[in-house]
Amino acid sequence: MASTQAAAATEQAPTKNPTLLAWVAKMAAMTQPDRIVWCDGSEAEKQRLTEQAVKDGTLIPLNPKTRPGCYLHRSNPNDVARVEHLTFICTPNKTDAGPTNNWMEPEAAYTKLSQLFEGCMKGRTMYVVPYAMGPLGGASTKIGVELTDSDYVVLNMRIMTRMGKAALDMLGDSDDFNRGLHSTGDVNPDRRYICHFPQDNTIWSFGSGYGGNVLLGKKCLALRIGSYLGREEGWLAEHMLILGVTSPKGETTYIAAAFPSACGKTNFAMMIPPKEYAGWKIETVGDDIAWMRPGPDGRLYAINPEAGYFGVVPGTNYKTNPNAMETISKDTLFTNVALTPDGDVWWEGKDGEVPEELIDWQGKPWKKGSTEKAAHPNSRFTAPMSNNPVLSAKANDPMGVPISAIIFGGRRSNTVPLVLQAFNWTHGVFLGATMGSETTAAATGKVGVVRRDPMAMLPFCGYHMGDYLQHWLDMQKSIPQLPKIFQVNWFRQDKNGKFIWPGFGDNMRVLEWIVNRVQGRVPTQETLLGWVPRQDQGLNLNGLDLPAEAIQEATSIKEDEWKSELKSQEVFFEQLGTKAPEALMLQRKLLIARLDG
């Protein structure tokens, strides 16, 4: 049986790549699917798979008048998010994975998962999904092939990547491709593993159907494997949005920004400036991931390796993110949201009145006033980036865009000011390394506990975090025209616990100051922590209904808070042990000395 399957894979393949054919045959012999289908990315294939997914109950069609081309998917209630405790970095030495990752020895991982994969696709179809991460033909673009038994995965990968024949053509006869194997298995949490093998450029995912665990081009390849490849090859794979901001004079500045979850990342990438900024334009290059490498002119160039958006739905509305709402108005897959009686979707925080009755994310009747959430808090949309009304014309540029500024931002109720600029690259890396967000009562039972999330990469770095930070420092030698680095915090609170800064579109005021600093147009005020806006030539506050004392509070730097902050950072640096970069430890000592001076 197994040899027949392997032969079938070879005979039906639209490629003669010997390495690819041998690998697919080997995986087919292990998993023993009934059929092997090579995906070509065509419209006909999409229609066929969609009809099949509707027939088998994987997808529910939505109202074609209100949501043309849109479908709802409900995942298993035990399978609704990334599983960090079941995500492993499999390197020969535990030290290489580092203290912030779960580790498994490669041979042990292959043995354990091979037992799970053995015969797991009997009665199922194995889809061979070739895909490109990045614009086709680009020097930064990487090719992957995912083998999966899930039509939901195929349809999502079609949105999120450049999938099909074009990717296979770009690969040609090369053996340089990421090998991804996925099966939903029996969706048993006790038999669920997401294993990354950096040295083998391989990902094995078993027992999940949730996007973050099974769309192997996304966090798995683009960040965990990507970060490892970046260090080996001299570039950066980062959990960052990329946007272009164009002034009324036609000057465009490109910026990359890292924000942990619940910090307004997608909103920032698709921001609509306030009316006081008539003539300014924000365009999205990417909303989640940036691959950045030194260009021939000495600048740092970034591409968005993805072709779509896999975003959190709850809280998305026409006030918080009108461009996202337009993006998900058609040809979108929704996962774990509620269903309205007229065939539309609903989630907490959506515009308009709460419906009287719904079918909740688990397929159960739901009534207004219920204490249960109608949509899962981590419910998602998968939408093509081509739907985005403010998509940058450079989003498909193989060269990418030149990055002039890098922003690090977290959710902090105090301590971190609205915006500051790092003194230099090393100081900026220190700011990124020590960034964090405060937990909420709903998540932990405690408010205000700072969770460190260096560069927003803690769950996604594919090797030792100390080596990762050292790689950031080392990149300075390869980039003659370094981007300037900034830190922002939209979430500073007043004494009553209310946010001081209005956020959303008004973040344009901070962005304009950053652009002006990049272009050398405005002076600054030097503080112990970095450069901040001057009161006389700083932020544009025209039309902003905020008293002067509120602005002062949002931008203030309080030395007692920063002494506590430095003490809090100790735990993170101690975790890195001897791999904590010496240059960052020196930055820390200098800041302590300035505060004690």
What residues act catalytically? Answer: 263
Residue 567 and residue 574 in contact, taking contact as beta carbons nearer than 8 Å? no
Q: Per the structure block, which two tokens stand in for 11?
A: 């005979």
Residue 302 and residue 392 in contact, taking contact as beta carbons nearer than 8 Å? no
Q: Is the dihedral of CA 442, 446, 447, 452 positive or negative?
A: negative
DSSP string across 565-579:
HHHHHHHHHHHHGGG
Q: Per the structure block, which two tokens stand in for 241?
A: 């949005």
Query: Phi and psi for 485 in degrees, rounded to 5?
Result: -115, 135
Alpha helices by DSSP H, 77-199: 94-97, 106-117, 151-160, 165-171
Query: Phi and psi for 179 in degrees, rounded to 5?
Result: -100, 110
In whole angstroms, what is the distance from residue 279 CA to residue 273 CA?
9
Q: Per the structure block, which two tokens stand in for 498?
A: 């209310």
In whole angstroms, what is the distance from residue 370 CA to residue 517 CA?
50
Residue type, 487: Q
Residue 417 and residue 490 in contact, taking contact as beta carbons nearer than 8 Å? no
In whole angstroms, what is the distance from residue 436 CA to residue 97 CA?
21
Q: Per the structure block, which two tokens stand in for 523?
A: 């002076």
In whole angstroms, what is the distance from residue 100 CA to residue 459 CA?
8
